[in-house]
Structure 1
């Protein structure tokens, strides 16, 4: 049959999948043969549309991806997947991999895919290591780790505590500040603690 089946994925629902879709269609994939996962992490073993694309593949077909990271995160999973495709007599084509296409139906494409899968996993592990190291160093130095900023200063929380101590309803003070009573009490404990 020799069909091209396209697969695109974004990890969050807020991300845009249009660019991947456009690239796959430009590579010759028919719109009816596109499988799109929205809000699905590449680390998950089961991805509904990815599984559907695999089930639709027949001997001679090619699964087309825009980039290698759309396939998965570990070299072992990627190589296992490549073996599954070979067993089905199907191929994998990755657009934009090292400046060109890689097609696993050829011996050279298969070798390049194997090397690139290993490099992709190494890159991910190095990135994780750097992030962990950075967080550890910032914590040790007492620096800010980012995240959501406190909406109220310690001074504002102390003033709220004074109001509660003077007989004001904690629920009303919290409501006036735009937070829950539990959050107000937690913040007072943090500031006074």
Structure 2
């Protein structure tokens, strides 16, 4: 079975770029996209393994399956989780194909994936530091009366339920009715 995994970190992002690249990859390899099992986590960081579809993917993957992602960072931004999961996947002869990073199926491939995983983990930590610094600066301005604070905004829940998530739900429903 061919399994495809999508992930975006925030509700403001979408899967469009990943979707197009993976569709193009499937076409070039003669893979019927509509017969693939699709997993997607929306608005969840790759620094945690506690993602519903990621956990479902790992529980459902079978020996000799193929796993397609846009890039390895969509699966992992935590080097320990990457190492653990990749070891289990490769032990079961799961072929991992990344549009951006190529295939991961040998010890040499895992070396390059580990190097990139280290960079991905570093970037995730650096991003978190920048976000926290921005929040601290904003709070200081608010305390001085130089700005106002609305937290994350009143539309956060709306963004999570409207728009993009609804489009993907319709897509999955249409795919299942084919």
Q: CA deviation at 1:49?
A: 2.9
Name the structure 2 match of 1:58.
62
Name the structure 1 match of 2:127.
127
Name the structure 2 match of 1:174.
none
Name the structure 1 match of 2:52.
48
Gaps of 5+ in 1: 150-193
Describe how 1:2-21 pairs up with structure 2 within 5 A: 3-11=1-9, 15-21=13-19
Number of aligned residue pairs: give it: 143
Q: CA deviation at 1:135?
A: 4.0
SS in 1 for 2:3: strand
Name the structure 2 match of 1:189.
none
The structure number with the bigger radius of gyration is 1
SS in 1 for 2:99: strand
SS in 2 for 1:96: coil
Name the structure 2 match of 1:148.
150
| Distance in structure 2 (CA, Å) of the matches to 1:118 and 1:49 | 23
Structure 1 runs of 4+ aligned residues shifted over 6 Å read none
Contact 2:76/2:117, CA 8 A, preserved across alignment: no
SS in 2 for 1:148: coil
Gaps of 5+ in 2: 152-178
The structure, 1 or 2, with the larger RCO (C-alpha pairs under 8 Å, 6+ apart) is 2
Q: CA deviation at 1:92?
A: 1.9
TM-score under structure 1 length normalisation: 0.59
**1:39 equivalent in alignment to 2:33:** no
Contact 1:8/1:70, CA 8 A, preserved across alignment: yes
Contact 2:3/2:39, CA 8 A, preserved across alignment: no
Name the structure 1 match of 2:171.
none
**1:83 equivalent in alignment to 2:87:** yes
Contact 2:41/2:52, CA 8 A, preserved across alignment: no
